[in-house]
Amino acid sequence: MELRSRIPSGPIEGKWDNHRFEMKLVNPANKRKFTVIVVGTGLAGGSAAATLSELGYNVLCFSFHDSPRRAHSIAAQGGINAAKNYQNDGDSIYRLFYDTVKGGDFRAREANVYRLAQISVNIIDQCVAQGVPFAREYAGLLANRSFGGAQVSRTFYARGQTGQQLLLGAYQALEKEVARGGVKMFTHTEMLDVVLVDGKARGIVTRDLRTGAIEAYAADAVVLATGGYGNAFYLSTNAKNSNATAIWRAHKRGAAFANPCFTQIHPTCIPVAGDYQSKLTLMSESLRNDGRVWVPKKAGDKRAPGDIPDAERDYYLERKYPSYGNLSPRDIASRAAKEVCDEGRGVGETGRGVYLDFADAIQRVGEDRIRERYGNLFEMYERITDENPYKVPMRIYPAVHYTMGGLWVDYNLMTTLPGLHVLGEANFSDHGANRLGASALMQGLADGYFIIPYTIGDYLASAKLEKVSADQPEFQAAKRGVADNTKQLLGIDGKRTVDSFHRELGLVLWEDCGMARNAAGLKRALGRIPEIREEFWKNVNVPGSDAELNQALEKAGRVADFLEFAELMCTDALHREESCGGHFREEYQTPDGEAQRDDSRFAYAAAWEFRGVGNSPVLCKEPLTFEYVALTQRSYK
């Protein structure tokens, strides 16, 4: 498989501008002759569908939710980065670019990251124009706070509900186009296959989740904006419905999957409380602007936090990383939390927790100010734990949160399948091996509002696109494949629930491909996953029928895909014999326990080609070159 990244030539500052000029345009009167399918209505898909329709394309937009507003993006709490430099604290496009390349541990494409930093400033203007109520300073200027891995304040926010407010903006734009007739919206509709005609992505097959009807839709190009696959781990901070099905099935049709092992473990989540928990809750990174992370100095210290004097506390992030302190990047803060818990200094009943303490901040600025900044997050914490974080420190622990891997895309956001484009968390993104906080919303909206509207025009204007119809054999064959798969799942009639398989898989991944990985564990997982998969296909029980709403059936399809995908994730983690960002291989660490990259062997994006379930995938490498940010050992000390 050939990986053509299509990075434009020339100095980095001018690449995107020149590329936009050089790309072909579709004449306004011709745009209505093209139909584009957009799957997903989160920030990436919603913004893309609205914008493509505003441009004049016919858009068919799909979501398995009952409303576009239910997309997982609504859960984003803390904020969105942009290099506006409103604080006059030294920020610039170049600094955001630099921080992101370094934050991703040098495993992202420089050209993409630079473009992202450039576009970040337009996103804020776009959203303000839509009426997104970003927090403001007393004088009226938009307010900013800091996120991990940055020494400037560049994060725009709407209390702890930034994703919700941004999604309402994109949703309004989308609904305007639905009302105008430019977008035809299909809710409760799950995409289950991509259809190729003459090697190009020309449509999708869907299942109506209420009636079970399986349909095929034809188009000139397909855009997937279907979110991340963190739920492969069963427990994660993602919305329960987030899954890998859309991108996994596209992968099985030939789209390369890049860096599947790059998973982000977020340091500040409410700790796991029991075996039957089905969801984890994030406590936004923004809380680390004011909260101080600590554990007792002494192992096994069971005193209440208020009884432990300052001198007997270890503010380990401030101690180990004095320049960035509590705002050290996520991968580093997560590993540091694991380390102190492994030493027996963790807090809470399970010993897998650390404190996030606001006492000093409350003393400094007052409780009202803290409530103003994080009120809804504190309320959420109290409702879940029954502890008042204004009075006692929060207890937090790392949890699976985001996936940097995804379908491989070129500079135009097109996969290795011509016509198939991928946006947002579903692509292998601009974040390398570790995403900095508040950068996912930035990337999803950059992709949807500002990149795909240009690049898809270039594709449509350049590709030779014969007329296709959903009655063609390729579509009918794909429909039959989906119907057979559904029948097979319902026909097994075994003894175990879908969730029990999912939980088992999640535990394997967390233990052996989680925050710390090693060759022995990964090999163990690679032995175990096919066994679980085999048992799934013999012994899963999917009650109900395929002609009505059947959530067990929906889940079964998604878990079946996770069971295939998980093998690729572990294969990728095993082959990458280095540590970088969120991929921490215990065998490869510096003497002080930091990630040890091996640039001579692994400075590439690993893009995998599918060769059948259970067969070894083929590795293709996209070399990464760093002309602007020198490859160095990352340091936040």
Ligand X SMILES: Cc1cc2nc3c(=O)[nH]c(=O)nc-3n(C[C@H](O)[C@H](O)[C@H](O)COP(=O)(O)OP(=O)(O)OC[C@H]3O[C@@H](n4cnc5c(N)ncnc54)[C@H](O)[C@@H]3O)c2cc1C
- Enumerate the active-site residues: 330
Backbone angles phi, psi at 489, to 5 degrees: -60, -40
Q: How far is the CB of 453 from ligand X (least distance, A)?
A: 16
Residues at the contact surface with ligand X, assessed by CB under 6 A? 39-45, 62-65, 71-73, 75-80, 162-163, 190-191, 225-228, 237-238, 242, 245-246, 282, 401-402, 424-426, 438-441, 444
Q: What is the DSSP string of 569-633?
A: HHHHHHH--S-BTTB-BTTSB-TTS-B---HHHH-EEEEEE--STTSPPEEEEEE---SSS----
**DSSP code of residue 285:** G
Instruction: In whole angstroms, give the CA distance from residue 598 to residue 27.
Output: 48
Q: How far apart are the first and last CA of the chain?
A: 41
Q: How far is the CB of 520 from ligand X (least distance, A)?
A: 31
**What is the token pair recorded at 206?**
């869907």
Q: What is the DSSP string of 127-171?
A: HHHHT----B-TTSSBP-B--TT-SS--EE-STT-HHHHHHHHHH
**What is the token pair recorded at 58?**
């016919």
Distances (CA, A) of 386 to 305, 367, 377, 391, 548: 16, 19, 13, 12, 39
CB 486 within 8 Å of CB 550:
no
Instruction: In whole angstroms, give the CA distance from residue 440 to residue 71.
Output: 14
Q: How far is the CB of 542 from ligand X (least distance, A)?
A: 18
Q: How far is the CB of 590 from ligand X (least distance, A)?
A: 29
Output the CA angle 161-124-634, nearest 5 degrees: 80
**DSSP code of residue 260:** T
Q: Which helix (H) or strand (E) holds 196?
A: strand 189-197
Q: How far is the CB of 383 from ligand X (least distance, A)?
A: 15
Nearer Cβ to ligand X (241/476): 241
Instruction: In whole angstroms, give the CA distance from residue 129 to residue 256.
Output: 37
Q: How far is the CB of 117 from ligand X (least distance, A)?
A: 14
Nearer Cβ to ligand X (79/514): 79
Q: Look at the block and give the residue holding tokens 């397909």.
A: 222
Q: Per this entry, what is the length of the chain? A: 637
Q: How far is the CB of 78 from ligand X (least distance, A)?
A: 3
370-387 burial: b if 16+ Cβ within 10 Å, else e: beebbeebbebbeeebee
What are the residues facing 191 on neighbouring strands? 206
Q: How far is the CB of 45 from ligand X (least distance, A)?
A: 5
Instruction: In whole angstroms, give the CA distance from residue 532 to residue 525.
Output: 10
Q: What is the 3-state secondary structure (H, E, C) of 526-581?
A: HHHHHHHHHHHHHHECCCCCCCCCCHHHHHHHHHHHHHHHHHHHHHHHHHCCCCEC
CB 312 within 8 Å of CB 372:
no
Q: What is the DSSP string of 199-240?
A: TEEEEEEEEETTT--EEEEE-SEEEE-----GGGGSSSSS-T
Nearer Cβ to ligand X (479/585): 479
Nearer Cβ to ligand X (40/617): 40
Q: How far is the CB of 311 from ligand X (least distance, A)?
A: 35
**What is the token pair recorded at 523?**
């090999």
Nearer Cβ to ligand X (207/320): 207
Nearer Cβ to ligand X (213/520): 213
Nearer Cβ to ligand X (83/308): 83
Residue of 160, 159, 172 whose CA lies nearest to 130: 172
Residue of 200, 244, 207 whose CA lies nearest to 222: 200
Q: How far is the CB of 447 from ligand X (least distance, A)?
A: 8
Nearer Cβ to ligand X (228/582): 228
Nearer Cβ to ligand X (44/505): 44
Nearer Cβ to ligand X (258/525): 258
Nearer Cβ to ligand X (191/332): 191
Q: How far is the CB of 280 from ligand X (least distance, A)?
A: 9
Q: What is the 3-state secondary structure (H, E, C) of 401-419?
A: EEECCEECCCCCCECCCCC
